[in-house]
Every structure is written in C-alpha cells, then in structure tokens.
C-alpha cells in the first residue's frame, strides 16, 4: 500500500511540474490578437470568407434560395494559429477574431460590445461577378470606424471562379472594372484580394488572405481603429 502511495505522490509531483511548465510556456507565448470585421452585401460571400480566415466551416453559408439572408445576426469566432510569424526575433502566435455580420445593418454599439478594443482590419467583400456600386458599404465603414477606415481596409473580391470561367485574369478584370471599383481598390491600404471560395479546404484557402491581413495590420503597427459610438454633430 505504502509503495502505491509513494507512486501516487511521485505522479502528483510530476504532473504538477509538467502542468506548471505548460502554464509558463503559455504565459510566455507571444500572441498577436487581431479583430477582423467582415462587411458586404447580402450573399456576397462574407461567411465563406470568414470560414477561410478561421480555417473551418463554423460560419453558416447557404445559397440564397428562400429570399432570406443566412447571416441574420453578428457572429464572432476566433482561432489561434500557433507560430504563425516572427515578431521582434521571436515566434509569435496569431489570434484572429473574425466578426461576421448581417447585411449592412451593424450598429456601432453592437460592434463596440463585440470588439471593445476596436477593429484592426476591415474586410470589404464584393462579388467580382456582380460589381454594381454599393455606396452604403463605404458609408457604413466610415460611420462605424471613422475617417481612417481606408488605412485598415482590404477589398476581397469573391466568386473569382466565375472570372476564371470567363477567361479573365485579375489584372484584366481590374482594368475593365467600373471606375468606383478601381477607385476603391486604390483607396484602401490593403488593395484587392481575389478569392475563389468554391474549392479547396477552408484552411488552405485562407492562408494567403491571413498573411495579407497580417501585413496590412503591421503597416498600422497593429493598432486598432476605435469604434465610433459617439454621434458627431
Ligand atoms: N462559386 C462560388 N460560390 C461561392 C463563393 N463564395 C461563396 N459562395 C457560395 O455562395 C453562397 C453564399 O455564400 P455565403 O458565404 O453564405 O455569403 P454571405 O454573404 O455570408 O450570405 P448571407 O449571409 O446570406 O448574406 C454559398 O452557397 C456559398 O457556398 C465563391 O467564391 N464562388
Ligand atoms: Mg453569411
């Protein structure tokens, strides 16, 4: 019995040491947390972009059959990518918090509640094959995040599989695109990113976009834009 007791004690000590080492490792990890806001029209592919970013299928996506949007309320999902990049000479994890939104109805107070630290990157989502102007998108960006929203924004053009089928390269597409889209692409700091969400695993698809977001955020020294909860008169 006493032998078994000694064993139990030894096991306890071991597990305490291992536990505390694990905790110390976690405490010492470098983690960069970025809040990413997805905005776009109904059925623009927002939730699919969210899935690509977090590398899963947790945001619900559905074709527009019933006349009702699939995303009717905000949903915040996060995922940590271990050792995603090097920062100040050390490996750093990337914690992405992705906020999917219903079509253009997000209120500043809701955004503030969900992202009290603000928004690091705004992803504007537009279907490449249906690029009619949407002034509300820019208005909404400005009213939520203020004048500086363009410095933190990236345009994601979805449904680019349809462009491929039409034999259009991204550069040809931009050259042929309407003036408002060309202007928006030039205005936003992160430029345009072409995305085909019809294929591949979400985690693979999202890799290049995650890197693009990180580079954009680094240009802003990983500072977040404050949510504009005060109404300016
Ligand atoms: N072919 C193709 N289909 C896509 C692409 N992105 C999304 N889809 C499909 O389009 C439909 C709508 O995509 P969602 O990601 O749900 O779009 P959403 O903007 O979140 O839609 P709502 O929340 O309903 O407004 C789904 O059936 C997706 O599978 C794409 O790049 N190419
Ligand atoms: Mg959706």
Residues with CB under 5 A from ligand 2 (ion): 46-47, 70-71
The tens-digit pLDDT sequence of the chain (233 residues) is: 444 444 455 666 766 666 665 555 556 789 999 999 999 999 999 999 999 999 999 999 988 776 778 999 999 999 999 999 998 889 999 999 999 999 878 999 999 999 999 999 999 999 999 867 778 899 999 999 999 999 999 999 999 999 989 899 988 999 999 999 999 999 999 999 999 998 767 777 899 999 999 999 999 999 999 999 976 44
Nearest alpha carbon, ligand 1 atom 3: 198
The pLDDT of residue 62 is: 85
Rounded CA separation 60/75 (Å): 10
Q: Report which of 90, 77, 168, 179 is spatially closest to residue 129, judged by C-alpha positions.
A: 168
The pLDDT of residue 1 is: 40
Q: Which atom of ligand 1 is nearest to the CA of 125?
A: 19
How many angstroms does the Cα of residue 185 sit away from the middle of ligand 2? 23
Q: Which atom of ligand 1 is nearest to the CA of 68?
A: 24
Ligand nearest to the CA of 125: 1
Number of Cα atoms under 13 Å in the Cβ half of residue 195 = 33
How many angstroms does the Cα of residue 223 sit away from the middle of ligand 1? 30
The residue whose two tokens read 């400005």 is 142
Question: Concatenated DSSP letters for 89-134?
Answer: TEEEEEEEEEEE--TT---HHHHHHH-TT-BSEEEEEEETTS----
b/e string for 17-27 if b means 16 or more Cβ within 10 A? Answer: eeeeeeeeeee
Rounded CA separation 35/98 (Å): 6
Ligand nearest to the CA of 45: 1
Q: Which atom of ligand 1 is nearest to the CA of 100?
A: 20
Ligand 1 shell residues, CB under 6 Å: 40, 42-48, 61-64, 69-71, 103, 158-159, 161, 195-198
């Amino acid at each position: 019995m006493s032998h078994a007791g000694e064993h139990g004690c030894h096991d306890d000590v071991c597990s305490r040491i291992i536990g505390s080492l694990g905790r110390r490792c976690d405490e010492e990890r470098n983690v960069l947390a970025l809040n990413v806001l997805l905005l776009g029209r109904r059925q623009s592919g927002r939730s699919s972009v969210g899935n690509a970013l977090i590398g899963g299928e947790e945001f619900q996506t559905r074709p527009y059959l019933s006349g009702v949007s699939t995303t009717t309320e905000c949903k915040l999902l996060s995922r940590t990518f271990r050792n995603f990049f090097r920062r100040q000479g050390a490996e750093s994890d990337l914690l992405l918090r992705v906020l999917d939104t219903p079509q253009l109805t997000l209120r500043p107070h809701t955004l503030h509640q969900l992202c009290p630290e603000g928004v690091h990157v705004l992803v504007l989502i537009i279907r490449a094959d249906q690029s009619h102007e949407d002034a509300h998108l820019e208005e909404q960006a400005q009213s939520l995040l203020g004048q500086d929203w363009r410095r933190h924004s990236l345009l994601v053009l979805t449904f680019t599989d349809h462009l491929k089928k039409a034999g259009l390269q991204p550069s040809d597409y931009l050259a042929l695109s309407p003036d408002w889209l060309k202007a928006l692409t030039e205005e936003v700091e992160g430029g345009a990113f072409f995305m085909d969400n019809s294929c591949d695993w979400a985690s693979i698809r999202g890799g290049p976009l995650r890197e693009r977001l990180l580079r954009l955020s680094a240009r802003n020294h990983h500072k977040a834009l404050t949510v504009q909860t005060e109404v300016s008169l």
